[in-house]
Every structure is written in structure tokens, then in C-alpha cells.
Amino acid sequence: MSDYGNNAQEEIHSKVLRAGRRTYFFDVRATKADDFYLTITESKKHTSENGSVFYKKHKIYLYKEDFEAFQEMLTEATDYIIDKRGEEVISDRHEPDFHKKHRGPIDLEDNEEVAETSDENKKEYTDISFDDI
């Protein structure tokens, strides 16, 4: 379903979480069959080279049949992070190049090998908008 057009009719409930340069929107919307689903939108503020401000948005559509599995996976992942790294936000206390100086082994469940990459071998990724899906 497109987010263009009748947003006022589709939106049932909305919450906003502001987190630094990112804003998260949790919107309950209605399908054409009048069932509810959730959209989670991340909006990140960017500044172009000429100084103008723009926002990049990424969206997740979550339907009722996926709620339980999604919630279980989210809880499992967040619990894992807190268990392994604690609740302290490391980026609030380290110098800008902390990760380059302290790069260590990565714990992978399937014992996959990870090759160290130099800065010249790193791949660049492009943000993709899923709004039209």
C-alpha cells in the first residue's frame, strides 16, 4: 500500500521517538480491508555540501502475523547486545577513532571466518529507499 494519498484516513495511532539526528516514527495504519499494520520509519537528518538540510527515510512494514516473531527476534538481539556490551553507550565516551584502534575479533554463531579489511578495501554502500515497495 502506498503512503501517498490518503494518509489522514490510514493513520490510526502514531508515536515519535527522537534520538539525536534520527527520528523514529511508529505509525499504526489501516489496510483497505480495515485491518491494522505497523510502519516503523527511521528519518535521518543530513546536510548536503551546499549546506541545505534533507532527510533520508527508511521504512519497515510490519503485519500482525509477524508481530510475535519480530518481537521475539528484537528481544533476543537487544538482550544479546546488553549481555555482551552492557547498557553504557560506548560512543558517548570514546575518541572519534576508537573503533579503528580497538578492532577485535567478531563473535559469529556459525564460526565463519572474518578477514580484516584495510581502509582502501572497504566497500561503500548506498542508502536505498523502500518507500515505493
Place of cell 570514546: 94
Backbone angles phi, psi at 85, to 5 degrees: -125, -5
Map grid coordinates 523502500 to a residue: 130
Place of cell 502514531: 14
Question: What is the structure's pLDDT at 65?
Answer: 96
Provide mean pLDDT across the span 8-35: 88
Condensed to tens digits (0 to 9), the pLDDT of residues 90-117 reads 775 555 555 455 555 545 444 444 444 4
CATH fold of 7-97 reads Nuclear Transport Factor 2; Chain: A, (3.10.450)
46: Cβ contacts below 8 Å, ≥ 6 apart: 53, 54, 55, 56
Q: What does the mean pLDDT of the chain come to?
A: 76
Phi and psi for 25 in degrees, rounded to 5? Answer: -115, 130
Which of 41-55, 56-70, 103-117 has the weakest average pLDDT? 103-117
Residue 43 burial (CB count, 10 A): 16
DSSP strand E in the chain: where? 11-19, 22-30, 36-47, 53-63
Domain edges within the chain: 7-97
| This prediction's pTM | 0.58
